[in-house]
A and B are shown apart, each in its own frame.
Chain A
Amino acid sequence: MFTEFFYILRKVGVPVSPTSFLRLQKALSKGLINSVDDFYTSARAILIKSERYFDLFDQVFAHHFKGVELTAPTGVDLAEAAKALLDAWLKDPQAIADALGIDEDSLSKLTPEELVDYFLERLKEQTEAHHGGSKWIGTGGTSPVGHSGYHPGGMRVGGRSMNKSAVKVAMDRRYRDYSQEGLLTRQHMGEALKRLRNMVPAGPKDQVNIDETIYQTMKNAGEIEIVFDRRLKDRLKVILAIDNGGWSMDPYIDVVQSLFDYSRSQFKDLKTYFFHNTIYDYVWEDPPRRSKPFRVDEFVRMDPETRFIIVGDASMAPYEIMATDGSIHIEERSGKPSVERLRLLAGTFRHSAWLNPKSAVEWPYTRTINVVREIFPMFEISLDGLEKMVSHLMSRN
């Protein structure tokens, strides 16, 4: 039963497993599901394993049980829609003018064809289904283009009248918000960075080592010998170098800030340095990059086991990274191109990574990102990216 439903779910990209489908069958055969409502809730609980797919499930459900359009309106729909729009316009030009956001006078100057064109353009501009509100086309709302709105001349773009409540619920698409990726909050970063730890024994010997205690006691022929160990402590050294200059990093300030805040509370031994675009002879310990310069050569003397993390968009003019004296700051004249400095850093610290706030799909289009990626492994600042970075930084080689 409902095999087709199952395959539509798979087709639209909801990961549903045959096992869970069989389980749904079991629920059906046990007589647990007696109505469409029951089916809706049970099928969702059994088949769908993440709230991100709830919205897709709602859509497929509405499609399968009520024949609601799954895809964008087709040409036929549009023609019908346009016709209905014309009707509405003839009946009530004022309302149409309000809804489309043009005044009545200019609307009345439009020929029917122009009006239809205008409407079609609206539909193109619109990037997602929209319900409610007064401008876009969708269901509900005051715009006469769309369906089930209160506007008397309202027309339908896909969708028919509804009567069954589960379908109605599905058509409400309550879970639309969950289908997008949420913001990366500090808590999530915490989750991701938690594994970035290197536990070493430190402090007073105050923990009983049970295995060793038993062993030593046995060796002592039962005379109890309690063995104490030092507590394990996180001794991971982390250096964070942040690109905080220029407008190109502006959009990412929030996410970098929370990354920085989080790492500060998480790592005992954290050093932070700042730079602009890329690294030449100096990085700075103060965010304005003025009073506390730090020679890059000094990094060589640091513990090579330190995890070196650079945060930056790595987007700049190619000469900044490739040319001798490439810095856009006149006072930074080192005689060495930045690319060599980056290589030095990558060679000094075996565990290094570059975190890029730009999403990975954009990387191939920026030349300097490609250059940097040859030197440092690059990860995007997202849950996945952070986790990959952590496992890279903690790997043995």
Chain B
Amino acid sequence: MYGVEQVTRFTGGTKYVLDEELAKIVNISMALEMPLLLKGEPGTGKTMLAYAIAESLKMPLIVLNVKSSMKLIDALYQYDTLTRLNDSRFGDSKRDVSKIEDYIKMGKIGQAFVSDERTVLLIDEIDKADTDFQDDMLDVLDQMEFDILEIDKTIKAQQRPVIIITSNAKKDLSDPFLGRCNFHHIAFPEPDLMREIVQVHFPDISQELLDAAVNAFYRLREFKEVEKKPATRELINWIRALNADPDFRVKELIKGDIPFLGVLFKKSPDYALAQRYVSRSRL
């Protein structure tokens, strides 16, 4: 397959600010052909990283959103029995009813395997599924092949996809699972990096607003007892909201007035708490 020199190196996307450490880890995982498991606070850009890799390496991105009820087979392929039944009964399609293969639809992992190009496969929020799913899936990703029982056929990956797995769970995933991937924990960005991130999203933001918003944001994050602290995603939405409001003046923000708290705090107890803190700090 690829030699190291030929592998395109990942340097960041147009809307993604990448720290050097993470870039290295992404590159080394790609070179070693191992899945990269990302953990970190919600809103620190775990999912966005996969989009950025796909964009910068010009690979198609396939997203598998894991759900709690999901079975591994759903992610691999589906045997569409109902359509086949319908075709056999009414026979008004071009499909050949006696050929089961016509009724096999590829799931997300299957799609990544059969694709002619190398793809980026994002497996989002793996922790939602149970441990059996996780282990079985890693077996498939390790072997880079799976069987379709109905037609007794083995699907082998054409090109090993770049696999990014995200997890929100505080709890560790199972050991065999962890053994098969590289791991990185995305820490919450420092204010300086955050400024850069905001600037990438709002290229013509005024310095005044940028400073005021980022400062206010980090102050808000310091509130104790808040269950879900606002993260990058919230900050960006919040600045978008500030920009959209014609009555908003940066001076208010510097004074300690914080409009649209609801954009930042999404749980009602957190919201109430934040409101209390803010009104207290204004006095």
Contacts and interface: CB of A to CB of B under 8 A. Distances in A.
B32 interface: yes
A194 B88 contact: no
Contacts, number: 83
B114 interface: no
B92 interface: no
B4 A30 contact: yes
Contact of B24 (A15, A41, A185, A222): A41
A17 B4 contact: no
Contact of B88 (A32, A54, A175, A222): A222
Interface string A21-55: 00100110011110001100110111011111010
Interface residues on B, range: 35 or more
Nearest to A41: B24
B85 A214 contact: yes
Nearest to A186: B227
Interface stretch (B156-164, B177-185, B210-218, B252-260): B177-185
23 contacts: A15-B175, A23-B32, A27-B28, A30-B31, A31-B4, A32-B27, A38-B24, A42-B24, A44-B184, A45-B29, A45-B36, A50-B172, A50-B178, A50-B183, A182-B170, A185-B227, A191-B171, A213-B82, A214-B81, A222-B88, A224-B85, A224-B89, A383-B170
Contacts of A188: 170-171
A52 B29 CA distance: 21
Given A27-B32, A185-B227, A186-B227, A45 B183 contact: yes
B122 interface: no
Interface in B1-34: 4, 21, 24-25, 27-29, 31-32, 34
A140 B271 CA distance: 37
Interface of B: 4, 21, 24-25, 27-29, 31-32, 34, 36-37, 39, 68, 81-82, 85-86, 88-89, 127, 169-172, 175, 178-179, 181-185, 187, 227
Given A27-B31, A217-B85, A383-B171, A41 B21 contact: yes
Given A45-B183, A383-B171, A32 B89 contact: no
Contacts of B68: 194
Contacts of B178: 49-50
A-B residue pairs, 8 tightest by C-beta: A51-B185, A49-B178, A45-B182, A45-B25, A41-B24, A49-B183, A42-B28, A50-B172
A383 B127 CA distance: 14
Contacts of A214: 81, 85
A193 to B, nearest CB: 13
Interface string A230-256: 000000000000000000000000000
A31 B178 CA distance: 24
A174 interface: yes
Contacts of A208: 82
A123 to B, nearest CB: 30
Contacts of B34: 23
Given A174-B187, A210-B81, A51 B31 contact: no
